[in-house]
Structure 1
Amino acid sequence: MEGTIYSLLPPLIMLVLVLATRQVLISLGAGILVGAFMLNDYEFLASINQIWTTFYTIFYSDGAVQWGSLYLLSFLLLLGITTAFMTASGGSRAFGEWAIGRIRTRKGAQMMPAILGIIIFIDDYFNSLAIGQVARPLTDRYKVSRAKLAYLIDSTSAPITVISPISSWGAFIIGTLGSIITAQGLTEIGELEAFIKMIPLNFYVFAAIFLVFLTILTKFDIGSMKRHEIRAEQTGELLTKGKEVPGDLDSEFTDHNNGKVLQLIVPIAVLLVATVSAMVITGIQGSEGEVTILSIFASTNVNKSLFFGGLFAVISGLILYLPQPSPKSSSGKVIFEGMKSMLPAIYILLLAWMIGSVIEALGTGTFLAEQVEAANIQASYLPVLIFLVAGIMAFATGTSWGTFGIMLPIAGEIAVNTDVQMFLPALAAVLAGSVFGDHCSPISDTSILSSTGAGSNHIDHVMTQLPYAFIGALASGLGYLLFALTTSTILSLAATLAVVLVIVLMGRPKSRITS
């Protein structure tokens, strides 16, 4: 079963169940169960043991505690507590009242998270979670659905991070490029230069970001997003009733009636400063040889940094909450409810990690990569093929980074052996396809955290984002086809954006509430 077409079964089963039931935990569980049985020749006890092993290795593996997983899960709990203190203190409500006097339109409220998504490019996890906490009070006031907020966050966080050299993603990619360039003997180009030259060739990133702003400006709400937005505008219901939502604290306690804007701004500012500072410190500690900005971000411990950022944010939120006069909820209740609010996100993330391990053991990514190597196609069409395969791989495995690790070396080797002029376009297509697949996958950690930051039901977010991801992918695919015919980066990128614009103008809903 391993490394064959049958390795696609678990992610396909998971996808079908997600679409049919909209129950992400059941769907993930089914995918894990099928994958475990396939790995163990359908022996019951061995398969159950495989599932247990997959679970506990998240926390303990190879004789060592897996601190990265513990740090990230702890950060989610700390973020829930921080959010609870900002809510209980009345800081979120005060910020909404302050912002509504300055941002006077619904479009402006949506522009805020989109623009912040472009500005905050340090790390996709931090981007996804922090922006939601800042923007949610404002978008709630203007009756923007939580699914729409999750889309705005998700479709700016990964795209901007993957083209920023000063980011955790950028540093990882640059480091990977260095080893590929050395292995292929391409002495005429450096890894940073290669990364910079690849940026305009990453068509999907620009299509996705462009589509976010067009969607805001033209109210391009399509598919299930349209239903969410109309319901939010007409009834004020920002969430689908009866669905589990991470970070939802609205019914747990009444926010304080004398809250201040600082009770939201200060914890967020502390979170930002403490996380970035910790990233720099851990990056310096992890750097070997000369310490540079790139070496810092290549060596930084993101999850550990998030943990300490979250810890300091909780402390600041508690300090601001304690002096408030009664009546108010006890600090213990606020902490408990904050932690409880993050449990749905943690359950999904744990199962996503488990199915990712099962899919890796089955060799799903390796199988797809081998299909690219075996394909006998004209060199100029290599980027478009790699874009599609990387998209499928990232969707099936739920990881951009895993797809980078598998596909970048393969794409580089194929390009060098066929036409070295396709080296950078092929590598850029890997990045583009990986982000596209990540946007579509219900087991993508970035999408899970975007749902969490926005306070949206996860499957609602995945289903509402899909049409936009497909539009970006269609435009990008056409862009890569044009590149195969012309080898012009500028023309192909312009054509990609033009396709997005035409689709939006032709498909924009005609009947919508104005606001």
Structure 2
Amino acid sequence: MDHIGFVSLIPPIIAIILAIIFKNVIVSLFTGVFVGLLIMSNGNPITATTRTINEYITPQFTDSYNAAVIVLLLFIGGFVALVEKSGGGLALANKAAKHLNSKRKTQLSAWFGGIVIFFSDMGTPLIIGPIFEKIFDKVKLSREKLAWIIDSTSTPVAVLIPFIGWGVYIMGLIKEEFDRIGVATSEFTTFVHAIPFQFYAILSILIVPVVALTKVDFGAMSKANKRVEETGALFWPDSKPLRKPEVSQEDTKESHPLLILLPLGILFLTLFGLLLPQGFPFNPVPGSDFRVALSTGYLFASVSLIILMIFYKVRKIGRIFDIYISGMQKMMHVILILVLAWALGSLLNEMGTAAYIIELLEGNIAPWIVPMVIFAASSAMSFATGSSWGTFAIMLPLAIPMSYGLDAPLLVSIGAVLSGGIFGDHCSPISDSTILASTGAGCDHVDHVKTQLPYALINGLIALISFGIAGVTGSAYTILFSIPLMVLTFFIISNIQTKRNGVNVTQ
């Protein structure tokens, strides 16, 4: 295998270390690319700089596939911004909230609301949290429980959806690696087939209704629920709840649920209308056709939403266009990460990084263990950096060729990267999604991390075991083992703690 030896590991190691130290993925990726080209240029900084710009960054923008992905991300960014400012999600949640009169209904409704706001991982905590915090107070459920529910339905839901920003971003990384190693399979087909192997995300979503229906709680979460149930105290004496940002007057204007229902309906009708003639979703669809259909769907959905916002007088037309453009601008951060990830992947391919790793591991590690190793490494990186997207950007260019070269199950390995990114993100106190969940629920951030961590660790351990099983079998039905194991584990731990401490499990 062609590689330049140990030095081929330096760029990704530097990128990981800098991401952990500075918590800035863009700087970390750029530095990794630059250092790699500094090595390839025999230490000449001028040559390394010009090659970084001319041969590795600029071509990512001019490539037709990459350009189509960037355009799609811009359309998605504009649409999401309009939805978040339209008030449609808020109006829908307000109507549903009127019928909630029990703890079980309240938890399930918050969970369902988080799934409905699938198009925006930030939208879930900032829309669902403020709506449900007073309802949780009324039925005597802790704010920590609300933070856990909205955290469990934000990124874990988003990472499973192929036609939003998360899926487009991940498929862009997959496609780039497939081109390098000569895999002809569609990135869309690969993403969809890898969904059953995203064990942690699936378990995180499903554990919420299990807890709500069975009244199983333990650890710090059980104590928080008992505090509210017995004393009515929303917070511990030393808690410092995060406060939501001040809501401007324009954000409080009355809206209508139609402003979220109709645009989403148009999005799906457009997507399926353009792709059904090609056999979608039962037959593979070329990635280019899928991206065009998605871009068209998001554009039509945005136009319909703009018309509705004008009709219901939610915003003035000038402000509406400002919101749309600002949503596009917010996607530039994502686009920069994606472009630099493509550039780093191209550099690692030239240096033979994956080939060197394969040469080191071949014959020394069983192929079925590879997904477990990838999951553990991705989890550690995501926890340390607080960034699942940064983890995907660095780990997928390593994991895909590594699993391919070591004859490990490719779909399982991709699922391991995605699951590890979400697991580490859930456990990390510096993760933006964890902070947003605390903010949306109006609870103390440390309390949220403490109450969520036991649930996350259990699901993470089950996911690790599941990756070992899937590594052997390669079967998507492994999840049917993971879910019962998760339910059984939660019951056992809860019963043990209840007997040991004499603590009543409350809901």
TM bucket normalised to smaller:
0.5 to 0.7
* Distance in 2 separating the partners of 1:267 and 1:55: 42
User: Hey, what does 1:477 align to over in structure 2?
Assistant: 464
| Cα deviation code 1:253-298 (max 9, x no counterpart) | 3523xx35xx2x212122322222232244358x5xx666333486
The one of 371, 383, 401 equivalent to 1:386 is 371
| Letter of the 2:25 counterpart | L
C-alpha distance 305-104 of structure 1, shift in aligned 2 (>3 A): farther
User: Hey, what does 2:270 align to over in structure 1?
Assistant: 278
Q: Tell me how far 1:430 sits from its aligned partner.
A: 1.4
* Distance in 1 separating the partners of 2:336 and 2:67: 16
Equivalent runs, 1:172-191 vs 2, <5 Å: none
Number of equivalent positions? 445
C-alpha distance 406-376 of structure 1, shift in aligned 2 (>3 A): closer
SS in 1 for 2:132: helix
| Letter of the 2:260 counterpart | I
Equivalent runs, 1:22-61 vs 2, <5 Å: 27-41=24-38, 57=58, 60-61=61-62
| Cα deviation code 1:448-480 (max 9, x no counterpart) | 9978997969xx89x958775554332222345
Query: Any conservation in 2 of the 1:79–1:310 contact (CA below 8 Å)?
Result: no
Query: Any conservation in 1 of the 2:152–2:205 contact (CA below 8 Å)?
Result: no
User: Hey, what does 1:72 align to over in structure 2?
Assistant: 73
The one of 6, 9, 31 equivalent to 1:4 is 9
C-alpha distance 336-505 of structure 1, shift in aligned 2 (>3 A): farther
User: Hey, what does 1:435 align to over in structure 2?
Assistant: 418
Q: Tell me how far 1:17 sits from its aligned partner.
A: 2.8
C-alpha distance 50-293 of structure 1, shift in aligned 2 (>3 A): same
* Distance in 1 separating the partners of 2:285 and 2:252: 41
Q: Tell me how far 1:38 sits from its aligned partner.
A: 0.5
* Distance in 1 separating the partners of 2:267 and 2:172: 18
**Does residue 336 of the first structure (1) align with residue 322 of the second (2)?**
yes
* Distance in 2 separating the partners of 1:84 and 1:456: 18
- Normalised by the length of structure 2, the TM-score is 0.63
Q: Tell me how far 1:82 sits from its aligned partner.
A: 3.1
C-alpha distance 250-148 of structure 1, shift in aligned 2 (>3 A): farther
| Letter of the 2:20 counterpart | L
C-alpha distance 448-491 of structure 1, shift in aligned 2 (>3 A): closer
SS in 2 for 1:279: helix
User: Hey, what does 1:420 align to over in structure 2?
Assistant: none
**Does residue 293 of the first structure (1) align with residue 282 of the second (2)?**
yes
* Distance in 1 separating the partners of 2:348 and 2:495: 42
Query: Any conservation in 1 of the 2:160–2:195 contact (CA below 8 Å)?
Result: no
SS in 2 for 1:293: coil
User: Hey, what does 2:337 align to over in structure 1?
Assistant: 352
The one of 299, 323, 332 equivalent to 1:308 is 299
Query: Any conservation in 2 of the 1:475–1:496 contact (CA below 8 Å)?
Result: yes
Q: Tell me how far 1:240 sits from its aligned partner.
A: 3.8
| Letter of the 2:261 counterpart | A
User: Hey, what does 2:140 align to over in structure 1?
Assistant: none
SS in 1 for 2:8: coil
SS in 2 for 1:4: helix
- Runs of 5+ in structure 1 lacking a partner? 19-26, 185-191, 416-422
Q: Tell me how far 1:149 sits from its aligned partner.
A: 1.9
| Letter of the 1:9 counterpart | I
* Distance in 2 separating the partners of 1:14 and 1:357: 17
| Letter of the 2:28 counterpart | G
User: Hey, what does 2:153 align to over in structure 1?
Assistant: 152
Q: Tell me how far 1:53 sits from its aligned partner.
A: 6.0
Query: Any conservation in 1 of the 2:77–2:328 contact (CA below 8 Å)?
Result: yes
**Does residue 375 of the first structure (1) align with residue 367 of the second (2)?**
no
Q: Tell me how far 1:483 sits from its aligned partner.
A: 7.7
User: Hey, what does 1:317 align to over in structure 2?
Assistant: 308
Q: Tell me how far 1:155 sits from its aligned partner.
A: 1.9
Query: Any conservation in 2 of the 1:55–1:354 contact (CA below 8 Å)?
Result: no
Q: Tell me how far 1:300 sits from its aligned partner.
A: 1.3
| Cα deviation code 1:227-249 (max 9, x no counterpart) | xx99x9449x99845xxx9xx77
C-alpha distance 158-507 of structure 1, shift in aligned 2 (>3 A): farther
User: Hey, what does 1:139 align to over in structure 2?
Assistant: 132
Q: Tell me how far 1:10 sits from its aligned partner.
A: 0.9
C-alpha distance 472-269 of structure 1, shift in aligned 2 (>3 A): same
| Letter of the 1:12 counterpart | I
Query: Any conservation in 2 of the 1:3–1:366 contact (CA below 8 Å)?
Result: yes
Q: Tell me how far 1:218 sits from its aligned partner.
A: 4.5
Q: Tell me how far 1:372 sits from its aligned partner.
A: 5.3
Query: Any conservation in 2 of the 1:204–1:432 contact (CA below 8 Å)?
Result: no
**Does residue 101 of the first structure (1) align with residue 98 of the second (2)?**
yes
* Distance in 2 separating the partners of 1:53 and 1:152: 41
User: Hey, what does 2:3 align to over in structure 1?
Assistant: none
C-alpha distance 295-369 of structure 1, shift in aligned 2 (>3 A): same
User: Hey, what does 2:18 align to over in structure 1?
Assistant: 13
Q: Tell me how far 1:206 sits from its aligned partner.
A: 4.5
| Cα deviation code 1:31-69 (max 9, x no counterpart) | 145324303326555566567669974983148981321
C-alpha distance 482-439 of structure 1, shift in aligned 2 (>3 A): closer
- Normalised by the length of structure 1, the TM-score is 0.62
C-alpha distance 59-318 of structure 1, shift in aligned 2 (>3 A): farther
SS in 1 for 2:159: helix
| Cα deviation code 1:391-430 (max 9, x no counterpart) | 5369577475996787567546645xxxxxxx7xx34531
* Distance in 1 separating the partners of 2:201 and 2:369: 15
C-alpha distance 239-107 of structure 1, shift in aligned 2 (>3 A): farther
* Distance in 2 separating the partners of 1:307 and 1:153: 20
User: Hey, what does 1:187 align to over in structure 2?
Assistant: none
* Distance in 1 separating the partners of 2:57 and 2:175: 30
Q: Tell me how far 1:356 sits from its aligned partner.
A: 2.0
* Distance in 1 separating the partners of 2:65 and 2:469: 50
**Does residue 253 of the first structure (1) align with residue 250 of the second (2)?**
yes
* Distance in 2 separating the partners of 1:306 and 1:454: 29
Q: Tell me how far 1:127 sits from its aligned partner.
A: 6.5
Query: Any conservation in 2 of the 1:11–1:31 contact (CA below 8 Å)?
Result: yes
* Distance in 1 separating the partners of 2:361 and 2:483: 26
* Distance in 2 separating the partners of 1:273 and 1:449: 30
Query: Any conservation in 2 of the 1:202–1:428 contact (CA below 8 Å)?
Result: no
SS in 1 for 2:99: coil
C-alpha distance 233-308 of structure 1, shift in aligned 2 (>3 A): farther
| Cα deviation code 1:105-155 (max 9, x no counterpart) | 5664443354466689xxx7x374776687456335446566852432222
